[in-house]
Structure 1
Amino acid sequence: MTTHTEMEIASQPACWRRGAEMAATAALPRLGERVAVVGCGTSWFIAQAYAVLRERAGHGETDAFAASEAPIAVPASASPHTREAPLATPTSAGSHAAEAPLATPTSAGSQGAEAPPATPTSAGSPAAEAPLAVPTSAAPPSAGAAYGRAYDRVLALTRSGTTTEVLDLLRRLDGTPVTVVTADPRTPVMSLADEVVVLDFADERSVVQTRFATTQLALLRAHLGEDLGQAIADAERAIAEPVPEAFVAAEQFTFLGRGWTCGLAQEAALKMREASRSWTEAYPAMEYRHGPISIAGPGRVTWMLGTAPEGIAEDVRAAGGAFVGGNADPMAELVRVQRVAVARANALGLDPDQPLHLTRSVILSS
């Protein structure tokens, strides 16, 4: 029986086209703004990828945080649950409400290589892999004290629009413009945003996120001026190819990334854990030799999203492990991982639509 997850995975090329078409009018961060991108789980990993891409494209300093850990400045006078935002202006697939500057298009495979170099920040510079700095104070402010970093805009990524950590963060902000990308315009996040981009066509019935996550990133990449034609073609091939039996039977997977694909590597590992309860790990590729390679071996797979560093494939094979890499767009490579995760779930008799211990949104009691 075909699951919702499988159908949602197969629909991604069409969703990416629609997302890319929205980029010219979507209410997304403006050129030159200093931006904090926040989310939870999958959305946090997409935020990491976008933060690196935005800086490399020369659009401005960009940090990515888990919503629960974001050290964003909160005025001393602000108290939790007091933000009163104006009614958000939604941008959906059929609307043209926003004016956002676009960069000169580059190819989807260039990863912004021809863009002016960005000023290094904790979100990740062209020379860095791990894009997040450890905040000096991630705890809520003490009485009467201001804390954290100042931003021109907060971009919140949230499929459900109901995640507790995201809503709590946005309620604490006082005056910082907020843009939200969500799948559901009928949720509480709408009242906490100044501008909203609604990707309702990419919403999902499965608990496991696949097409909403990648459609967000397709929209954001297109807004930076990338041409996604090759990425879409690569994704169509990834969907048509059979899943290798060796991947279904493998004991363990490690996913590697560089630059913007470090976030995708984390997302690939999460998809395997969620859908099939697989043992997975993820690292920046150049960190792999600093310990993690010790678990490489027969029946274990090391999978690179993006261009692999010189010699790493040979090192994995010398340890007896299988190395997977290629020239496909990294988002399309993530589609391949999603399909492997579902195939492994099916082989184990698991339901990828309803993974164990998970719900569509994490809503915590106060």
Structure 2
Amino acid sequence: MSVLDTEIASQPQLWRQMVELAPAYCDILPSPGANVVLVGCGSSLHMAEAYAALRRRTGAATIAVPSSEATMMTLRSADMVVAISRSGTTTETVVALERVAGKVRTLAITAGSGSPLAAAAEESIVLPQIDERSVVQTRSATCVFELLRATVDEAGAAEAISAAEVALGASVPDIAGVDHVVFLGSGFSIGLAGEAALKVLEMSQVVAEWYPAFEYRHGPLVAARPGTVVWWLSPVDRRLFDDLATAGVRQVEFAFDSAGSLVMAQRFAAALAIGRGLDPAAPSGLPRSIVLD
């Protein structure tokens, strides 16, 4: 088993740890009524988007923005700014926290012990056990989401663990002839769909997109073709499903939590990469962390 395979397979066990750890961090994680802005880049941003959607479902004012787009007005409008970065060295995310130091309550979530991000934050959650040797993020991103999800949707977090176990035991969808993948989500699974698309693009260099499920009809559908796979992380809309099937588009759907479907998408992305002669764990030209001068 490769390093990447081991990291992907470790997710259910680590997710259990995250659910068990969540109560210990309740005093520093966002309170139910807090106005929260989350910042991150890449995989961290997608996990922030998913968590923000879950908090909004409870009525809590929460948004997720790319660290590079986090204006002072946006950051200062919050009761709390939460910054996510695997390494804790991502320049844009560190800068976003430094800009509001002492003005807004700040929390860093990272796998990087002694990182600049943790140093810039008022409080930090450091999770070295979720870190990876691979350049491409899998478990580090999903573990942060599972930790956060457990604070607002404990039942869903538990269901996700079971779903991930099922996903790891199931066969990977056929990769033959795939040259375009579209992930569809709704609610919090839109963020997970974005992360799934990023995994396919990073690992395999196959064109991958993501949309809210009902937005797919509004333009992007025209690019669907026989080489396209449409992957449902949201409940399937049968009318759209039937239209795509008529057009010869392959579709993937699973009857389990969308976080489990993301685990399957990670495996699918790795298989696509290997099928194209690429290293899914360390894509050419992709650094482990984006650190700008």
Change (3 A) 1:148 1:232: closer
Which aligned pairs between 1:145-294 and structure 2 lie closer than 5 A? 150-174=77-101, 175-227=103-155, 228-244=157-173, 246-294=174-222
Q: Which amino acid aligns with 1:162?
A: T
**Secondary structure of the equivalent of 2:175?**
helix
The corresponding residue for 1:339 is: 267
Deviation string, structure 1 residues 282-335 (Cα, Å, up to 9, x no partner): 111111011111122223211110212341211211211012113210000000
- CA RMSD in angstroms comes to 1.4
Structure exhibiting the larger radius of gyration computed from Cα positions: 1
More helix by share: 2
Kept in 1: contact 2:53–2:62 (CA 8 A):
yes
Kept in 2: contact 1:72–1:151 (CA 8 A):
no
Deviation string, structure 1 residues 3-39 (Cα, Å, up to 9, x no partner): 2211100000001000011111112111211000000
Kept in 2: contact 1:3–1:352 (CA 8 A):
no
Find the aligned partners of 1:271 and 1:322 in 2 and give their Cα distance: 19
Which aligned pairs between 1:90-109 and structure 2 lie closer than 5 A? none
Residue 55 of structure 2 corresponds to residue 54 of structure 1: yes
Q: Which amino acid aligns with 1:7?
A: T
User: Runs in 1 of length 4+ with deviation above 4 angstroms?
Assistant: none
The corresponding residue for 1:313 is: 241
In the alignment of these two chains, the number of paired residues is 289
Kept in 1: contact 2:234–2:258 (CA 8 A):
yes
Deviation string, structure 1 residues 152-194 (Cα, Å, up to 9, x no partner): 0000011000000011111111420101110012211121111
**Secondary structure of the equivalent of 2:51?**
helix
The corresponding residue for 1:128 is: none
Change (3 A) 1:30 1:254: same
Q: Which amino acid aligns with 1:325?
A: E
The corresponding residue for 2:67 is: 67
Percent identity, please. Answer: 44
Deviation string, structure 1 residues 198-253 (Cα, Å, up to 9, x no partner): 22111111010000111111111101142233211111111112223x22541211
Q: Which amino acid aligns with 1:71?
A: T
Deviation string, structure 1 residues 99-128 (Cα, Å, up to 9, x no partner): xxxxxxxxxxxxxxxxxxxxxxxxxxxxxx
Find the aligned partners of 2:274 and 2:75 in 1 and give their Cα distance: 45
The corresponding residue for 1:15 is: 14
Q: Give structure 1 stretches of 5+ with no counterpart.
A: 74-146
Q: Give structure 2 stretches of 5+ with no counterpart.
A: none
Kept in 2: contact 1:302–1:322 (CA 8 A):
yes
Report how far residue 350 of structure 1 moved.
1.1
TM-score, with length taken from structure 1: 0.76
**Secondary structure of the equivalent of 1:356?**
coil
Find the aligned partners of 1:312 and 1:179 in 2 and give their Cα distance: 41
Find the aligned partners of 1:290 and 1:253 in 2 and give their Cα distance: 17
Kept in 2: contact 1:306–1:329 (CA 8 A):
no
